[in-house]
């Protein structure tokens, strides 16, 4: 349906259309491999300067998703969690900055990371624990919230249509 059609639709129809739109932004992954594939699929849509914020508790699958994005961008290095060094820099079809803010004490500490180089450069920036720097992330950031449903299932919610 185009925009004119949307405006003409009854309120009930509109509600279900928006709900559909909402549900296309949510995906349930049933395995780590599936989460990786979702990351790989997203990689095809990322252009230079893209920022992806990964939100969600410990073990939600953020690093797993990052691995998939990196595979999609043909990164050859092994992807490990940069918890201690905060930023890993990989080379793929685009530069990839993999940031993990778990150990950040407060949002302001983010400013000391020299984040401009990452966020406003030509690479793709993937930020785990992005909630910790939320006030400093530009509005075009795509956020992916990951929720643990059970041992093998994760719900991924995208802030906008990802593909």
Chain positions contacting ligand ATP, by CB under 6 A: 29-32, 34-35, 56, 58-64, 81, 128, 152-154
Instruction: Check if the beta carbon of residue 155 is closer than 8 Å to that of residue 134.
Output: no
Output 34 or 128, the one with its CB closest to Mg ion.
128
Task: Spell out the residues 6+ positions from residue 106 whose beta carbon is closer than 8 angstroms to its own.
Answer: 132
Burial of 44 (0-12, 13-18, 19+ CB in 10 A): exposed
Output 9 or 86, the one with its CB closest to ligand ATP.
86
Pairing of strands 154-158, 26-29: antiparallel
Q: Which does 80 bind (CB under 5 to 8 A by kind): ligand ATP, Mg ion, none?
A: none
Owner of token pair 């450069």: 121
Number of residues engaging Mg ion in binding (CB under 5 A): 4
Q: Which of residues 49-68 bind Mg ion (CB under 5 A)?
A: 62-63
Q: What does the DSSP 8-state code read for residue 112? A: G
Out of 37, 40, 81, 159, name the contact with Mg ion by CB under 5 A: 81
Residues binding Mg ion (CB under 5 A): 62-63, 81, 128
């Amino acid at each position: 349906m185009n925009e004119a059609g949307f405006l003409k639709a009854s309120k009930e129809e509109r509600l279900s259309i928006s709900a559909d739109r909402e549900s296309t932004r949510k995906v349930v992954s049933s395995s780590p491999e599936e989460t990786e594939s979702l990351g790989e699929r997203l990689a095809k849509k990322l252009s230079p300067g893209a920022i992806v914020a990964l939100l969600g508790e410990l073990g939600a699958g953020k690093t797993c998703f990052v691995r998939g994005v990196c595979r999609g961008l043909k990164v050859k290095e092994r992807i490990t969690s940069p918890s201690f060094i905060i930023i890993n820099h990989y080379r793929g079809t685009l530069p990839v900055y993999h940031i993990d803010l778990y150990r950040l004490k407060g949002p302001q500490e983010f400013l000391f990371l020299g984040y401009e180089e990452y966020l406003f450069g030509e690479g793709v920036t993937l930020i785990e624990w992005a909630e910790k720097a939320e006030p400093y992330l530009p509005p075009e950031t795509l956020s992916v919230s990951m929720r643990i449903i059970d041992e093998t299932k994760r719900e991924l919610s995208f802030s906008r249509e990802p593909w």
